[in-house]
Amino acid sequence: MLSTFAKRGSVVVVAALMLAGCSNSGPTPTPSGSEIRDLSAQQILDLAKSNATAQTSVHSKGKGNCPGGAFITDMKLRNDGNGYGVVTLGGTKFDVVSSPDAIYINAAREYWAGAYSSAIADKIGTKWVKVAPASNSCLAALGSFSNLLANYLGYPGTPKKENGDAVFGVPAQLISIPPDVAIWVRTTGTALPIQVSQPSTETQMALGEWGSQVDIKLPPASDVIDASTLKK
C-alpha cells in the first residue's frame, strides 16, 4: 500500500518531479547507491537525516493538515531560519517571508476583513503583516528549515525497507514507518530525502533543490504592519 500511494500521480507529485530532478548533492560524504541499499532501514534514515541537516537550504512543496486545517505549501527555506514562498491555509493564499523571530504574511483584503474588520483591511491594504511564529503553528512549521525536518523526518516508530527502486524518476530507497509513513531516500549522489507521505493525514511532501542558493529579502519596514498593533 505504501508503494502504491507514494507513486500515485497528482498535481503535487508532478510538481515534485521537477524538484527531485534538480536536487543538489551536498558536501556530506555518502555511500554509493548499492551500498546505501545494503544498509539497514534505520541506518538509511539516519544518514538521510544527517545529510539533510547539513544542507544550507531546501525547496519543500506539498500538502497536508495542521491544527488550522488543510494546507498547501511551496516554500524555499534556508538553514539560518529564513525562507519565502506561498502557503494556502483554509482556502486563503498567503505570500510568506519567514525569519527566525517573525513571519511576514501578505493576503487578500477579504481575509483581513474577515479576521479583523473592513477598516483594518483598508489600513493594511497591500502591506505585509508581521506576526510572531508562536501565533501560527502551521506557518511556523512550514516556514522553518529546522521545523520542517523535525516534522517530516522525525516520525516515531521502527523503520523498514520496502520494495521500490525510484520515485520521480530518481533512484531511491523506500522506507516505511508504521502505520503508513513512507519516506523515499535518494540513492545517487548524497543520500537525501525526496518525498514523505502519510495517507492517513493526507500528507504528501516533496523535498528537493537541497543546498541551492536562496536569496531572501525581508519586506521593508515601510511596508510592514505589526499584528500586535491591530485590534479586532
- List all residues 6 or more positions away from 15 whose beta carbon is below 8 Å from its beta carbon: 61, 206
Tally Cβ neighbours within 10 Å of residue 62: 25
Write out 189-212 in H/E/C secondary structure. Answer: CCCCEEEEEEHHHCEEEEEECCCC
| Class at the top of the CATH hierarchy for domain 2-227 | mainly beta
| SS3 state at 132 | coil
pLDDT profile of the chain (232 residues), mean per 10: 35 41 47 80 97 98 91 98 96 96 97 95 97 94 97 96 91 97 95 96 96 96 95 78
pLDDT of residue 68: 75
pLDDT of residue 2: 38
pLDDT of residue 33: 61
Instruction: State the pTM of this model.
Output: 0.86
pLDDT of residue 194: 97
> Are the C-beta atoms of 196 and 154 separated by less than 8 Å?
no
Helix axis angle for 41-54 and 145-152, nearest 10°, is 170
